[in-house]
Structure formats: C-alpha cells, structure tokens
Amino acid sequence: MEVVANWRGHIPNDEFRHVPAEMDNEKRPKKGVLYEFYNVLWVGWKGGVAYRRAHGRVERKVLDGLEVEAVDLVLG
C-alpha cells in the first residue's frame, strides 16, 4: 500500500461554511491564517494498476518533511 498526494489545498482557519471534517478536531493545527493540506489516495497495486483503498487529507507539514518520489498512476 502507498499514500499518493494528488493535490495541495488550503482553507482559511476561520472558514466555517464549507469546511473539511477535520476542522472540528481539537488537535488540528490552528496557527497561521490558513489550514494547509494535501488530498491523498491510499492505493494498492495489482499488475501495474493502482486501486483506491481510501482517500483523505494530510496536513501539509507532515508530507513536506518526507522524502517523496513522482509516480504515474493508472487507476482501476
């Protein structure tokens, strides 16, 4: 299994109209003007084709600190 970041997003920390579910999490980082995150896919591979197992968001600072590699996906 792998986690693949497919795009980066952000939302103002004081935005409450169209909020991601984790905005209610007390442990969510609240410093700064923006909550920055990556939308990710958790994928499993079979015969060179990636199959989505789950999707979600990861705080930007968590992934920015990891070694990453570019990957081309064919989703099945």
Question: The pTM is what?
Answer: 0.75
Structural tokens at position 12 = 């103002």
Q: Is residue 52 part of a domain?
A: yes
Measured distance CA(23)–CA(15) in Å, rounded: 9
Total count of domains within the chain: 1
pLDDT single digits (tens) 19-65: 667 777 777 777 888 888 899 999 999 999 999 999 988 888 888 88
Asked whether residue 69 is domain-assigned, the answer is no
Residue 7 belongs to some domain of the structure:
yes
The answer to the question of residue 43 being in a domain is yes
Please give the Cα distance from 11 to 13 (Å, whole number): 6
**For residue 71, is it within any domain?**
no
User: For tokens 């197992």, what's the residue?
Assistant: 53
